[in-house]
Each structure stands twice: as C-alpha cells, then as structure tokens.
Amino acid sequence: MLSKLNKIARKRSAFIRESETGLMAKSAIMQDKLESYVIGKLLPSLDVKNSSIVNSSKNIKLVNSSKNLKKFLKGVIDVAMFDYYDNQFSGIQSRTNGYYNEFNPSKSLIGQVNSKGQLLTDGVLDSLFDNNQILRSIQNSIRGAIASTQKVSELKTLLETQIQGREDKFGLVESYHYNNGYDKLQSYSRTLDEGFSKALKLNYAIYAGGEIETTRDFCNERNGNVYNRETIEGWNELDWKGKIQDGNVLIDAGGYNCRHDYDWISYQLAKRVNPDIEKSTYDKK
C-alpha cells in the first residue's frame, strides 16, 4: 500500500509543479494583453501636444478615473486568471481525493472535507483578484508623465518596461500572481491533507517532495522521513530561513515556495518506514 500511496502522491506533486509553471505562463500571456491595451488604447487617449503629454484637467481626470483600464483588468485579465486557478484547484482536489480513497473514507466524509476546501478556494480567489496594485502602478507612471509633460515616446518605453519587466525581474501581472497566488496551489493541497488526515485519524506523515538546489536545510533534514503529528506541530516553535512567521507548519511546511508535502499514513504504515517511531498521543483522542 505504501508504494501505491507514494505513486499517487508523487503524481499530485507533479501536477502542482505543472500548475505553478502554468500559472507563470498564463500570467505572461495576460501581461502581453495588458501591454497591448495600455499602449494601443490607453496611451492614445491622452491629450498630446508637440509629442509630449499635456498637463491638462482632461488627462488628470482620465488617469484618476481609469474607468476603462479597470474594466479591462476585471473583464479580461481577472476572468482568465480566475478560470486558471479554479481549474488547478479542482485538479488538486481530485488528486487528493484519489490519495485518501485508499483509506476507504465514507462519501459524507469526502464531501465534508471538500466542502471546507471549497470555502478556502472561494476565499483565496476573492482575495487574489484585487488588481489595485497593478492599476496604481500604471496610474502613477502616467501621473508622473502628465506632471512633467513627458515625451510620449518616453512614457511608452516606461510603460512597456514596467508592464513586461526585465530579464531579471517579473512584469506587473507575473509579479502579482507570483507573490499572491503561486504558493496558494501547494498550501491548498496541504489544507486538504490536513482535513482528510484528521477526519481519518491519520496521525503520521512522510515529509515528501525530494531535494533540489534551493531546498532549505530545514526540508533537507526531514525529506523522506516519517513523523507523528505532535512532532510536526512542534516545528512551529522553531525558526529557520524562509519560514512564514505566524503561519502553520502543517499548511506552510518549509515556508515560502516550499514544494514539500505531508503524505499522511496510519501508524501501521508509519512503522514500516520507521519501526522506532513513537506512537502519537492523538491516536488516543
């Protein structure tokens, strides 16, 4: 059974890695659309004289309102990104269900855990789609151009660089979703894990995910080992580089950009991994 569980878990982990890569690719596509809109429609709508942006009440009112830009962000960028997240969360959920189906949960238990997971998804998606950060960044650049009567060509170059970023720096859409959404995919899977493991009284977990060049010492030391629940909870009292302060190690694992999972298993299976593992006090509750 351990071998089968490991195979299912690694497939889910691979799906999450693909989801993360896909998130950045989708963000880049939306970033191109944003650039086309700003350069092709927003910039030409400004009053210009002698190839410079005019410091006029019309331009100031236009940038302060940004009605059409807000509409574009919500109606084009947000809709596409929402659909992407929703599809990936659904994929994570189905793969997580596949793992815990091996422990023969009842349909009602699966429904309860997934229902709580959906509430989390709804909350995450609601908090994600606040594009004030992207909006303000573009507005501030145009306000500066109006105040200084900047050349249109200079503002165009500034906006292109700002939106698309540089070789060593994400652009506006990429940066927003990397900072606010990237880790949500992995933490969502751990949240579902936490719900299933508690409901099924699985109080032992293999710290899984492998090692890469950027793996933290915290994760290296634990990778592939099995622990009982109270040992894992005790890690909240530790400190290490990359830890999410005031977070929950059961959800955050090693911290920012951590790729590790908890593969929750029974005491019988845990003893096959480590015959000396201490029985969890949670088994008695």
Per the confidence metrics, is the pTM higher than 0.85? yes
Binning pLDDT at 50, 70 and 90, where does residue 30 land? very high
Alpha carbon distance 127, 203 (integer Å): 31
Percent of the chain with pLDDT over 90: 86
Q: Is a pLDDT exceeding 70 seen at residue 218?
A: yes
- Between strands 204-208 and 261-265, the pairing is antiparallel
pLDDT band at 117 (very low <50, low <70, confident <90, very high): confident
Q: Using N-to-C axis directions, what is the helix angle for 57-65 and 132-148, rounded to 10°? A: 170
How far is it, in rounded angstroms, from Cα 152 to Cα 165?
A: 19
Confidence of residue 284 (pLDDT cuts 50, 70, 90): confident
> What pLDDT, on the 0 to 100 scale, is given for residue 116?
85
Q: Which residue has the tokens 């429609």?
A: 41
Q: Report pLDDT for 130.
A: 72
Question: 3-state SS string over the chain?
Answer: CHHHHHHHHHHHHHHHHHHHHHHHHHHHHHHHHHHHHHHHHHHHHCCEECCEECCCHHHHHHHHHCHHHHHHHHHHHHHHHHHHHHHHHHHHHHHHHHHHHHHCCCHHHHHHHHHHHHHHHHHHHHHHCCCHHHHHHHHHHHHHHHHHCCEHHHHHHHHHHHHHCECCECCHHHHHHHHHCHHHHHHHHHHHHHHHHHHCCCCEEEEECCCCCCCCHHHHHHCCCEEEHHHHHHHHHCCCCCCCCCCCHHHHCCCCCCCCEEEEECHHHHHHHCCCCCCCHHHHC
Is the pLDDT at 206 greater than 80? The verdict is: yes
